[in-house]
Amino acid sequence: MNDIMKYIRNLCLLALLCAVLSCQERKPSSVGSAPEIERRVERILSQMTLAEKIGQMNQVSAGGDVSNYADALRKGQIGSILNEVDPVKINEFQRICVEESRLGIPLLVGRDVIHGFHTVFPIPLGLAATFDPALVEKGARIAAVEASAQGVRWTFSPMLDIARDPRWGRIAEGSGEDTWLDARMGEAMVRGYQGADWDATSMAACIKHFVGYGAAEGGRDYNSTFLTERQLRNVYLPPFEAAVKAGALTLMTSFNDNDGVPSTGNVFTVKDILREEWGFDGLVVTDWNSMGEMISHGFGADRKEVARLALEAGVDMDMMTYGYISHLEELVRSGAVRETAINQAVRNILRVKIMLGLFENPYVDAEAAAPLQYAPAHLEAAQRTAEESVVLLKNDGILPLSADKTRTILVTGPMADAPHDQLGTWAFDGQKEHSVTPLQALRERFPGRVVYVPGLQYTREHKERFDEVTAAARRADVILAFVGEEAILSGEAHSLADLNLKGSQSELLACLAGTGKPVVVTVMAGRPLTIERDLPNCRALLYAFHPGTMGGPALASLLYGDVNPSGKTPVTFLRTVGQAPLYYSHNMTGRPYNGETLLEDIEPEAGQTSLGNTSYYLDYGAYPLFPFGYGLSYTTFAYSDIALDRDEYPVDGTVRVSFTLENTGGRDGTEIVQVYVRDLVGSVTRPVKELKHFERVSLQAGERRRVEVEIPVADLAFYGLDGTKKVEPGDFQLWVAGDSASGEAVGFKVK
Ligand code: BGC
Protein residue with least CA distance to atom 11, ligand 1: 288
Report the distance separating Cα 51 and Cα 608, nearest Å. 75
Q: Is the pLDDT of residue 80 over 50?
A: yes
Check whether residue 554 and residue 424 sit in a common domain: yes
Residue 624 placed within a domain: no
Q: Is any atom of ligand 1 closer than 6 Å to the C-beta of 739?
A: no
pLDDT of residue 600: 82
What is the CATH classification number for the domain harbouring 685? 2.60.40.10
Q: Is any atom of ligand 1 closer than 6 Å to the C-beta of 170?
A: no
Q: Is any atom of ligand 1 closer than 6 Å to the C-beta of 156?
A: yes
Omega before residue 158 within 30° of 0, cis? yes
Backbone angles phi, psi at 52, to 5 degrees: -65, -35
Check whether residue 503 and residue 646 sit in a common domain: no
Check whether residue 651 and residue 548 sit in a common domain: no
Q: Identify which has the larger pLDDT, 24 or 560.
A: 560
Protein residue with least CA distance to atom 5, ligand 1: 288
Identify the H or E element spanning 333.
Answer: helix 323-333
**Cα 425 to ligand 1 centre (Å):** 12
3-state helix, strand, coil in the chain (%, to 5): 35, 20, 45
Query: Which residues participate in catalysis according to the annotation?
Result: 287
Q: Identify which has the larger pLDDT, 600 or 648.
A: 648
Percent of the chain at pLDDT exceeding 90: 92
Report the distance separating Cα 635 and Cα 296, nearest Å. 54
User: Looking at residue 442, what DSSP letter applies?
Assistant: H
pLDDT of residue 566: 98
Dihedral angle, C-alpha 694, 698, 704, 707, nearest 10 °: -30
Q: How far is CA 490 from the centre of its chain?
A: 13
Q: 542, 559, 576 — which closes off a domain? A: 559
593, 433 Cβ separation under 8 angstroms: no
Q: Is the pLDDT of residue 7 over 60?
A: no
pLDDT of residue 30: 62
User: Looking at residue 199, what DSSP letter applies?
Assistant: S
Question: Which CB contacts under 8 angstroms, 24+ apart, belong to 554-558?
Answer: 554/383, 554/384, 554/386, 554/387, 554/390, 555/386, 555/390, 555/438, 555/441, 555/522, 556/438, 556/441, 556/442, 556/445, 557/383, 557/387, 558/387, 558/390, 558/392, 558/400
Percent of the chain at pLDDT exceeding 70: 95
Out of 38-52, 320-334, 430-444, 593-607, pick the least confident.
Answer: 593-607
Check whether residue 530 and residue 654 sit in a common domain: no
Q: Is the pLDDT of residue 9 over 50?
A: no
- What rounded mean pLDDT belongs to the chain? 95
Check whether residue 418 and residue 507 sit in a common domain: yes
Q: Is the pLDDT of residue 220 over 50?
A: yes
**Cα 315 to ligand 1 centre (Å):** 16
412 DSSP β-pair partners: 481
Residue 516 placed within a domain: yes
736 DSSP β-pair partners: 675
Report the distance separating Cα 327 and Cα 302, nearest Å. 11
Q: Is the pLDDT of residue 28 over 70?
A: no
Q: What's the average model confidence in pLDDT over 136-165? A: 98
Check whether residue 534 and residue 663 sit in a common domain: no
Q: Is any atom of ligand 1 closer than 6 Å to the C-beta of 112?
A: yes
Backbone angles phi, psi at 264, to 5 degrees: -75, -15
pLDDT of residue 595: 84
User: Residue 202: which of 153, 156, 235 has the closest Cα?
Assistant: 153
Q: 505, 539, 559 — which closes off a domain? A: 559
452 DSSP β-pair partners: 411
**Cα 300 to ligand 1 centre (Å):** 22
Residue 80 placed within a domain: no
Q: Is the pLDDT of residue 441 over 80?
A: yes
Check whether residue 437 and residue 545 sit in a common domain: yes
Check whether residue 548 and residue 663 sit in a common domain: no
Check whether residue 509 and residue 402 sit in a common domain: yes
- The 283-285 sheet, strands edge to edge: 206-210, 250-253, 283-285
Q: Is any atom of ligand 1 closer than 6 Å to the C-beta of 213?
A: no
Residue 283 placed within a domain: no
Q: 559, 576, 593 — which closes off a domain? A: 559
Q: Is any atom of ligand 1 closer than 6 Å to the C-beta of 208?
A: yes
User: Residue 582: which of 593, 574, 592 has the closest Cα?
Assistant: 574
What is the CATH classification number for the domain harbouring 411? 3.40.50.1700
Phi-psi region of 596 (alpha: psi -120 to 50; beta: other; left: phi over 0): beta
Check whether residue 403 and residue 527 sit in a common domain: yes
- Give the model confidence (pLDDT) of 706-748 as tens digits: 999 999 999 999 999 999 999 999 999 999 999 999 999 999 9
- The b/e string for 78-106 (b: 16+ C-beta within 10 A; e otherwise) is bbbbbebbebebbbbbbebbbeebeeebb
User: Residue 311: which of 23, 568, 57 has the closest Cα?
Assistant: 57
**Cα 546 to ligand 1 centre (Å):** 20
pLDDT of residue 13: 40
Check whether residue 523 and residue 655 sit in a common domain: no
Residue 116 placed within a domain: no
Residue 437 placed within a domain: yes
Domain count, the chain: 2
By CB atoms closer than 10 A (0-12, 13-18, 19+), residue 634 is: buried
- Give the model confidence (pLDDT) of 376-434 as tens digits: 999 999 999 999 999 999 999 999 999 999 999 999 999 999 999 999 999 999 999 99
Atom index in ligand 1 nearest the CA of residue 83 equals 12
Record the pTM: 0.95
Check whether residue 746 and residue 649 sit in a common domain: yes
Q: How confident is the model at residue 604 (pLDDT cuts 50, 70, 90)?
A: confident
Q: Is any atom of ligand 1 closer than 6 Å to the C-beta of 288?
A: yes
Q: What's the average model confidence in pLDDT over 648-663? A: 98
Q: How confident is the model at residue 611 (pLDDT cuts 50, 70, 90)?
A: confident
**Cα 313 to ligand 1 centre (Å):** 20
- Give the model confidence (pLDDT) of 522-550 as tens digits: 999 999 999 999 999 999 999 999 999 99
Residue 232 placed within a domain: no
Residue 59 placed within a domain: no
Protein residue with least CA distance to atom 8, ligand 1: 287
Q: Residue 399 belongs to what domain range?
A: 387-559
- Give the model confidence (pLDDT) of 271-287 as tens digits: 999 999 999 999 999 99
pLDDT of residue 26: 32
By CB atoms closer than 10 A (0-12, 13-18, 19+), residue 729 is: middle
Q: Is the pLDDT of residue 15 over 90?
A: no
